[in-house]
Structure formats: C-alpha cells, structure tokens
Structure 1
Amino acid sequence: MGKNTSGTAAASKVNGFDRWFQITARGSTVGAEIRGGFTTFMAMAYIVVLNPLILTGATDVTGERLSLVGVTTMTAFSAFIATTVMGAVGRVPLALAAALTVNAVVAYQIAPNVTWAQAMGLVVLEGLLIVVLAISGARAAIMNAIPRDLKYAIGAGLGLFIALIGLVNAGFVTRRPDADGTTVPVVLGSGGELQGWPIAVFVIGLLLTIALWGRRVPGAVMISIVVATVLGIVVESVASPGGWGLVTPTMPDRVFAAPDFSLFGQVDLFGAFTHLGLVTVVVFLFTLVLSGFFDAMGTIIAVSDEAGLVDDKGRMPGIGRVLSIDGAAAAFGGVTSSSANTVFVESAAGVGDGARTGLASVVTGLLFGATMFLVPLAAVVPQQAAAPALVLVGGLMVAQVRNIDFTDTEIAIPAFLILAITPFTYSVTSGVGAGIIAFVLLKTVRGKWREPGWLLWIVTLVFVAYFGIHGIEVLFG
C-alpha cells in the first residue's frame, strides 16, 4: 500500500510538471526542450557582448559613458530574469534579451539629449506602456492605424541603421572631414582605403559570419565573435597595431568574476520631461514603443507558428499574457540599464531544434544567469569582432522590404523615406516620422484624408511638432 501511494505521488509530480509546461500535449520531451534551450542560447548569446558595445559606444548629454562591465552583467541578468519568466509563466519557447532595435535608439538618439538615468527612465515607461497596450486592447487600434507595408519599412529601416552602426564601429565606413573640401560625406575605411589589422579582423569576422549563417550552423554569430576575438588577441599580442577603438583585445587576468550590479536601479523616470519637454519626450516614447511592440508582435507570431502554437485562424492562445510579459521585460531592461528586452527571433533556432514549450526558455534563461559570472571574457571583445553581427542582423531585417508593395503610389515614397532617412540621419524617429507624414499627405491630396484614421492623424501631428520643435521653441520662447 505504501509503495503504491509513493509511486502515485511521484507520478503526480511528474504529471504536474508535464501539465504545466504541456510537454506531452505539444508532442515534446524534456530532452528535446533542454536541447532546444541550449540551441537558442547559443544563437543569441552574442547579445551579452554586443549590447554593451552599443550602449557604451555612446555618451549621454553630460559626456558620461556606461560601465562596460556593468552593462555586460546587467545584459545577462536582465535576459536571465526575462527569459525565465517567459518560460515559467508564459510557457512558450520564446527567449528575451536587450533589443537591437531599441538599444541603438537609446544609445545614439536618446542618450545624447538626456542623462543615462533619464534615458533608461524612458525605457521603463515604454515597457509599462506596452503592458497597458497589451492588456487594454489598444494594440489592435495601433496595429490597424499604421499600414502593414510601413511596418515592414520600419523594420527594414532599423536594419539599415543597425548595419551602418556596425560598419562605423568597425571603421569600415568613416566620416570624411569637411575641411578637405570634398562633397563626399562618408568614405571606405581611412581616406577611401581599408588599412590596418583591426579592419582585417572585421572583414574576416564578417566573411566567417556570413559563411556560417549560410551553412545554418547553430550559434553562427557567437562562433564568429569568438573566432574574431581570438584573432584580434593574437594580432594585438604579435603586432600591437592599436586602433581598436573602445576595447583593445587582450587576455583578461581572470575568467570568472562576481557580477557588477552597480547599474541596477539607476533610473530617473520623469527627468526627461523637464530636460526635453513634453512633445520631444512623447515622440521618443512613441518611437521606443513602436520599435519594441511591433517587432515583438511579429516575432512572437512567427516563432509560435513555427512551434505549432498558432491555431488555424492565425490566433495564438495566451497571446495577451505573452505580450504583457514582453512589456514588463522591456521595463525591467530599463531598471537594469541594459535597454529594453524583447523576444528574439533567434528563438526560432531552438524551435527548429525541437523546443515546443516554456521549459526550453527556462533552460535558456538559466544559461544567461550563468553568463553573469563570465563578464571578464566579454570585456575583451573589440568592436571589430562584434560588428559583423550587427551587419548580419541588420541585413536580415532589411529583407522585410520584400513584403512592401512599391507599386502602390501611396506606399512607395513613405516607405522609401523611412528606409533612407533612418540610417542617413542616425535617427529612427526621423525616419518613421517622415514616412508617416508623407503617407498621410498622399492620402489627403488624393481625396482620401479620412482613410488614415484619427489615431494616425494624431501621430502625424506629433511628428510635425517634433520636426518643427525649434520653431515652436522660438515662437513660444
């Protein structure tokens, strides 16, 4: 009797675990989930290196830079918490970490105008807004307000922006000084030529990244970063060429170190409103929400569909809960000063390797947690080794242009403006604003002014105020 009771209890525990994650119901196994979790981690672990390099590559309005070690720790910690919660509570095989579409906006567009604490405060507010949108049903109104083709253009424009940042960080593209009298604003390498070992490391890293990605090698980006970093360490130790930028690749004194939590909680929620004014802050928040919310929507549906979690009507059960966690994770990224977290498309790598449940995400999250103790290794990666990842990811995002109908007169020019102005001005806000204004203008002159809807008209007026902010300030003193 005692043995039977014990066996029944053990089976109940196993069944309870299985039922929570729906492992059997989704046709998976614990082994497949663990394997999928490892695969997803390998596919996106590069963000622990890449995010700190992007954020520490910029200065805030006071000229301050974030600590490289601190941001690295917080990037891993933030991904650990967000991904584990998504797995345990959301119960889907979706992993989260610092969004490349948002950190570039924070580093190169928002931070130069405010302090880092104020910039991260806006990230927290962005996440909270996404949560509100997710649970209120307002997301449907926003999704319907912006034409699908312009959403694709925003994603592709962000891709061009990210790729350009990678090329500039590596020194592959540089600004030509105005003093030389030429009208060419940017050139290849130094003075129109590729020179030096750092550039060679970047080129080799980029070619390797492309080759591994083309061969569908799991963890291709991370492998390329590691190989290029090792090559950089060897080159620096033998030739000492210098010119690496922010990080010179040298062997660290130690591999393991205690995590640096000094950046945790360094947030000023409302300081940006006093510093910049209401209109500018609203536009910044709109851009952050747009970048984070819509990218997450597309990724969640795409990866979940591949995992067989979307029904025949294109609906995903529990989508509200998943979107709420995604928004809360974005806000948590601001609290940790690692920028907003979002669902990574690399989650598809784990799904392709068998992941079907949230258990895989719990595994991925725990691996990110372990990474917090390996920060010294991340601090030796030069920009030339990490930049190829930006170029590749940017290129993959640009592929969204295939979905844009350039034969549509009312779409072609607005989409083009988003694609062109976003990287040319180093400003996602400017690109999105120009595209939406052009779209509403074309609708109006063609006698269709009602079609954009009142919400998009409000957004358009916000962007008009943004572009004319200097004139408004002069007018009102």
Structure 2
Amino acid sequence: MGWVQNTNAKIARSAVGRYFKLEGSGHARERKGAVFSTEIRAGLAGFFAMAYILAVNASILSESGGTCVCNGRSDDPICEVNEEYLLCIAEVKRDLVTATAAISALSSFCMGLFANLPVSLAPGMGLNAYFAYTVVGFHGTGGTPYSVALTAIFVEGWIFFALALFGMRQWLARAIPRSIKLATSVGIGLFLTIIGEGIGLLQGATSTPLVLAGCTSDSFDEDGLCLDSAKMRNPQLWIGIFCGGVLTVMLMMYRVKGAIIAGILLVSIISWPRTTSLTYFPYTAVGNDAFDFFRKVVDFHRISKTLVVQQWDISEYGGQFGLALITFLYVDILDCTGTLYSMARFANVMDPVTEDFEGSSVAYMVDAISISIGSLLGCSPVTAFVESGAGISEGGRTGLTSMVTGICFFISVFFAPIFASIPPWATGCVLVLVGSMMMPAVTEINWQYMGDAIPAFVTIAVMPFTYSIANGLIAGICLYILINTLVYVVEKASGGRIVPHNKATKDPWTWRIPGGVLPPWMKRAAGGKKDFWRADPLPVSDSSSDTPGAEKMARTNSTELAKGQPVLVPEHAQEKRA
C-alpha cells in the first residue's frame, strides 16, 4: 500500500472522513467510492470545467454598463464609442471578474461544507444574459437601472431561502409542466448561442433581423452595416472560430479535461501581443488602460464600482422591478433545482422513493444565501453548475469535491488582470458550445401530444427571437394553460365524448409530489425527533442489506444515469412509491 492509499485510509477513519461520509469511515451512510485523493482530483476537474465563467460572466454583465453613466450624443446615443464610458466599463469588468471569483469560491465551498454535495455554484449562464441584455439592457437601455436589478436579486435570494426552509421550492419546481421545464433549457441554449456573436459573425440589420458580418472595425457603412466586400475578413473572427471553437470541440471529443478553458486561453494568448491585427490592446485610450492593468498579472483588484450598489427606493421602477424579481425567481427555481437533481442522480445520492437527495434543504438554502451575497458584489443570480458533472465523472461523491473547486476559485481572485483581459471573441464560441450542450433536452420533450409540444416549441422559439428568457417563459406557460384548459372544458362539457385522439400520450401533471411538500427536517421535528437536523438512514440503504443485488443495481443505475439511460427501480421501492 502506497502513501496515497495510506493517507486515504487515515483520513477516512478521521473525523473529517466521518463527517463527509468517505468510504471506510464507518459512517452508516458512507458513500461508495468516496476516496480523499479522488475527491481532490475531482475538485480540480470541476474547476477547470467551470473556470470559463470568470471571463464570460464578467464580459456579459459589463455590457449592461454597470453603474457607469452614459451621457450620449446624437451620433452616439448609447455610448458605443465614448472613451470615457468605455473606460468606466473596463473598470466594471475588472470588478466583476473579482466578484465572480469571490462568490464562486464562497458558494462552492459552503455547498461542500454544509450540504456535503459534489456540486459547485457560480453566477449562472442564461440568467446573467437575461440580467444584462433584457433587464438592464445593453449599456443601460433596458429601462431598469443596474442598481435596481441587483436589489431584485437580493430580495429574490431571501425569498428563495424562505421557500427552501419550508420545502416550497421543491414543490414549485415540480408544479411546472415537464415540457416547459425541458423547453426552458433548450431555449436558454439558443439564447446563449445568439449572445455568442461576440466572435463578430452576425450583426443586426434593417431588411432582415440578422445578417452575416465578420468585418473589422473600419469596414462599416454609414448605417453601421458591414460592407459586402469586407464580410468574413476579420482575423479575430477566424481565430475565435478555429482556436476557440473547433479546437475546443476536438478536445472535448477526446475528453481532455479543461477543454473549454484551454480554448479560451489559446485565443487570449494569441490576442495579447499589441503588434498584431487582432490584438485586444490597440493603441487607444481604452487599449492602453486595459494593457496597463493586464501587465500587473498577479494583483488583488478591489471592487470599486459594483460593491453594495443596491437602490432600495424602487418607487419609480415598480413594474420593472416586479417583472425582474418574478422572472429571476422562476428561472432560478428551474435552473438550480434541475441541476441539483441531475447532479445528485449522477453522484448516486438520490432516494428513489421520495425522489429527494441528501442535504437538499441545506443545499437550497446555501444557494439562496449565495444569491443575495452575490448581488452585494454586483453579480447576477448564483446557481448550481452542470459542469459539476466533470468532477463527478472523475469520481467526486462528497462535498470535498466542491470545496476544492471553491479553493481554486479563491486563488483565481488574485489573477484578475489575466481573466479581465480575455477578449469577447475568445468566449463567443464557448457560449455557442454551452448552448449546444443544453440541446439534448429537446429529445425528451413530448412531441406526440400537441398540448405539450406546441407550448414547448413556443417557449424555445420566443426566447432567442425576442432576446428575452422571460418572454419565452410567459408565452409557453400561458399557451400551456390556455390549450389544456380548453381541452379540459370541452371534455367535461361533452361528458367525456370529445377528447383529443392521443390524449393518453400527454405528460402527466400534478401538484402532488412524492414524499410530500414539507422538507425532511420539518417532518422529523414534527415527529418528535430531538436531533431533527440529522438525517434518517435512506430507505435505499435499509433495503440494500435485505435485497440481493441491490448494491449492484445502485452501481448500475449510476452508470446508466451517466449515459442518459433509464434507471431500474427495485420492486419494493416501486411498491413504496405506489
């Protein structure tokens, strides 16, 4: 036995091993395959899969303008070429790199420490786009100031905390029709793809919504459109496509860890020299300022423009504030809850009877508090990251995985000059790739029954076409209610004689959820258990000793989940569920 195995065995038998339920700890609910060295490796893999968020989130949120004030002129109403405004935005971007790293570090570490789940948190993709381009708007053109939007996020976090504390968050997530849940993921993926035009491939037009672009900055006509002779001639476009896109895809196909961050770094390194035609640091006031910050390399950047800038007087923005708050609530419920459930299944810590996972209430509360703290730093809502699957696929089974990821994010706080100098054409293809990763959900939508299919399709289509996640959600839910209510009314009025020919294929929907609405801790308290904060042994654990082959089935289920295959449930569990 080598020193690694000896170390693993010693830690497993220690108080740390027992707390995190490592294999060999002697804990009644120890997790199979949970080994200390594997957890460390899994945490590093998770960080490299998520590290792109530092550059991408700061890039997206800074396009809202942050707290910068645009004094537009008639020829530049939204300050697209105003140097003073652009310098302010550059400072906001640096603030947001630090803020993103800080909140990702804190939230991921706390998720591992308190919930003991291998799931990491960071400002969510999709929600940051909705925040920047719909609520606040590009350079503040959305009607809701940056400071008011952050207030909505702060309030949302505490509403989430209350919902999680009393078990309502789980119920609300289950109450949404399955087809709309799946369509939301697909629609956000397409929305991210549109936002990925940071590579400069597309631009808005007059005769059509979008046209092919790819011009250099000096190749636009008087209407701001790309000249036909200059289309697809921008070297930044091609570097972004081949190095940030094609190369990243190839690395991902061969399962190279950190493929996304590798593509981003390669494009960035190519774009940093100032003597090339695709440099990110041109010899302008903005370019000089960015290059001066970049040269520091290692530096702790103090947040100056986005720290605690909430505006509590929302009387002038009541309607916009309410819409933003409701949309953040709804989208975050779907996003975080869906991700936590999928990652918990992947890590094999689900209870097949109650369809809940270990530490669910604590996990939701950590997420909720992280949302509010993140807003104080200037960030959009924090959520569970599906890239946590990279760590789980490396063998991560406990909270040690996400704690290691959190420590890595903390270290990255001191490398803000590097992450703030990543150009948009380095992250554009990443957004397209992230969007493509969200597409598999489209195959799970029930396309057979139009009452499910049409609302789902409308949800998917409206999000990218209107540049708004909120519009897609509202359209899909309203259409679902309208269609299915009319079908119900016609069926009742006709005495059950007039029904759609394939109604039997409709996705089932009910407001009742397995295991009830109340969270486990509240049930234990109501049952008179003094240490109600301690979880009872899972029914699966009890049955595993009584049912031959149950342990093998658990391992098989974990493998099948990783492959996206259906999972077998033991007969005794099916009887309990029934």
| TM-score bracket relative to the smaller structure | 0.7 to 0.9
| 2:204 match | 175
Q: Is 1:123 aligned to 2:153, yes or no?
A: yes
Code of the aligned partner of 2:194: L
Counterpart CA distance in 1 for 2:459 and 2:172 is: 18
SS at match of 1:370: helix
| 2:304 match | 262
Shift of 1:143: 2.5
> Contact 2:149–2:324 at 8 Å: present in 1 too?
no
Which of 446, 462, 471 in structure 1 is aligned with 2:487? 446
> Contact 2:95–2:305 at 8 Å: present in 1 too?
yes
Counterpart CA distance in 2 for 1:448 and 1:85 is: 49
Counterpart CA distance in 2 for 1:303 and 1:154 is: 18
| 1:206 match | 245
Deviations 1:276-313 (A, max 9, x none): 224x4332212111222211111111112221211333
Shift of 1:242: 7.4
Code of the aligned partner of 1:114: T
| 1:224 match | 263
Counterpart CA distance in 2 for 1:68 and 1:303 is: 31
Deviations 1:411-434 (A, max 9, x none): 222111111111111111111111
Aligned-pair Cα RMSD in Å: 2.8
Code of the aligned partner of 2:204: R
Shift of 1:403: 1.2
Code of the aligned partner of 2:327: T
1:9-28 to structure 2, matched below 5 A, reads: 15-24=14-23, 25-26=30-31, 27-28=33-34
Code of the aligned partner of 2:235: W
| 2:211 match | 187
Counterpart CA distance in 2 for 1:310 and 1:377 is: 39
Structure 2 vs 1, CA of residues 413 and 240 (structure 1 numbering), >3 Å: closer, same or farther?
closer
| 1:92 match | 117
Counterpart CA distance in 1 for 2:159 and 2:483 is: 30
> Contact 2:127–2:328 at 8 Å: present in 1 too?
yes
Counterpart CA distance in 1 for 2:111 and 2:280 is: 43
> Contact 1:43–1:222 at 8 Å: present in 2 too?
yes
Code of the aligned partner of 1:49: A
| 2:571 match | none
Counterpart CA distance in 1 for 2:430 and 2:234 is: 20
Shift of 1:269: 5.6
Counterpart CA distance in 1 for 2:433 and 2:445 is: 21
Structure 2 vs 1, CA of residues 259 and 233 (structure 1 numbering), >3 Å: closer, same or farther?
closer
Higher helix share: 1
Structure 2 vs 1, CA of residues 247 and 156 (structure 1 numbering), >3 Å: closer, same or farther?
farther
Which deviates the most, 357-366 or 310-319? 310-319
SS at match of 2:383: strand
Code of the aligned partner of 1:435: G
| 2:366 match | 325
Code of the aligned partner of 2:298: F
Shift of 1:263: 4.5
Greater C-alpha radius of gyration: 2
Counterpart CA distance in 1 for 2:272 and 2:108 is: 32
Code of the aligned partner of 1:364: T
| 2:101 match | 76
Q: Between the two structures, name the one with larger relative contact order (CA 8 Å, sep ≥ 6).
A: 1
Shift of 1:115: 2.0
Shift of 1:185: 1.8
Which of 23, 29, 32 in structure 1 is aligned with 2:35? 29
Code of the aligned partner of 2:265: V
Structure 2 vs 1, CA of residues 90 and 170 (structure 1 numbering), >3 Å: closer, same or farther?
same
> Contact 2:115–2:399 at 8 Å: present in 1 too?
yes
Structure 2 vs 1, CA of residues 140 and 256 (structure 1 numbering), >3 Å: closer, same or farther?
closer
Shift of 1:401: 1.0
Which deviates the most, 64-73 or 110-119? 64-73
Structure 2 vs 1, CA of residues 13 and 226 (structure 1 numbering), >3 Å: closer, same or farther?
closer
Structure 2: 5+ residue stretches without partners: 1-9, 24-29, 71-84, 137-141, 215-225, 493-507, 512-578
Counterpart CA distance in 1 for 2:469 and 2:446 is: 21
Structure 2 vs 1, CA of residues 339 and 12 (structure 1 numbering), >3 Å: closer, same or farther?
closer
| 2:389 match | 348
Deviations 1:174-206 (A, max 9, x none): 112x3xxxx222111244632211111221111
Counterpart CA distance in 1 for 2:384 and 2:464 is: 23
Structure 2 vs 1, CA of residues 242 and 263 (structure 1 numbering), >3 Å: closer, same or farther?
closer
Code of the aligned partner of 2:237: I
Identity, % of aligned positions: 29
| 1:369 match | 410
| 1:394 match | 435
| 2:458 match | 417
> Contact 1:101–1:158 at 8 Å: present in 2 too?
yes
SS at match of 2:101: helix
Counterpart CA distance in 1 for 2:48 and 2:407 is: 13
Structure 2 vs 1, CA of residues 256 and 239 (structure 1 numbering), >3 Å: closer, same or farther?
same
Which of 170, 193, 196 in structure 2 is aligned with 1:166? 196
> Contact 2:112–2:118 at 8 Å: present in 1 too?
yes
Could you tell me the TM-score, scaled by structure 2's length? 0.71
| 2:556 match | none
Counterpart CA distance in 2 for 1:90 and 1:333 is: 19
Structure 2 vs 1, CA of residues 247 and 445 (structure 1 numbering), >3 Å: closer, same or farther?
farther
> Contact 1:156–1:398 at 8 Å: present in 2 too?
yes
> Contact 2:46–2:389 at 8 Å: present in 1 too?
yes
